[in-house]
Amino acid sequence: MDFDRSTKHPSPLAVANIVCRGGTEDWRKLYWYLKENPSFRPTALKALAVADNEGFPGCVILFQDAIRRMDEDDMAASRSPDTPPGQSCQDGGT
């Protein structure tokens, strides 16, 4: 995927453009990029918060929800089965 020639991460503008004006393959690549790069998710959420919805109404909301689910899944995976909900292993869980 061409992230507007960004070398490390897509630019916030590229994220907004891909979601608002991209096609299925672009969305798929961005989704997997975000899945594999959790440190970039907050930047993507900020970009999507100000994105214009004219291309495909609802895609921005779907991507925002998907990013939030990725974060929730990562948090759930970081807890051990014996750790109560709301407490991570680093917070004293086993």
Condensed to tens digits (0 to 9), the pLDDT of residues 1-41 reads 455 665 677 788 888 888 888 888 988 999 999 999 999 99
The verdict on residue 20 lying in a domain is: yes
Against a cut of 0.85, is the pTM above it? no
Please state, in angstroms and rounded to a whole number, the distance separating the CA atoms of residues 27 and 63. Answer: 9
The verdict on residue 25 lying in a domain is: yes
The verdict on residue 27 lying in a domain is: yes
The verdict on residue 21 lying in a domain is: yes
Confidence of residue 79 (pLDDT cuts 50, 70, 90): confident
The verdict on residue 63 lying in a domain is: yes
Average pLDDT over residues 70-77: 87
User: What total number of domains does the chain contain?
Assistant: 1
Average pLDDT of the chain is 79
Given a cut of 60, is residue 91 above it in pLDDT? no
Which candidate, 17, 10, 53, places its Cα nearest to that of 34? 10
Q: In the Cβ-directed half-sphere of 51, how many Cα atoms lie within 13 Å?
A: 30
Q: Provide the domain limits for residue 57.
A: 12-80
Alpha carbon distance, N-terminus to C-terminus of the chain: 40
- Residue 91 gets which letter from DSSP? G
Please state, in angstroms and rounded to a whole number, the distance separating the CA atoms of residues 71 and 88. Answer: 13
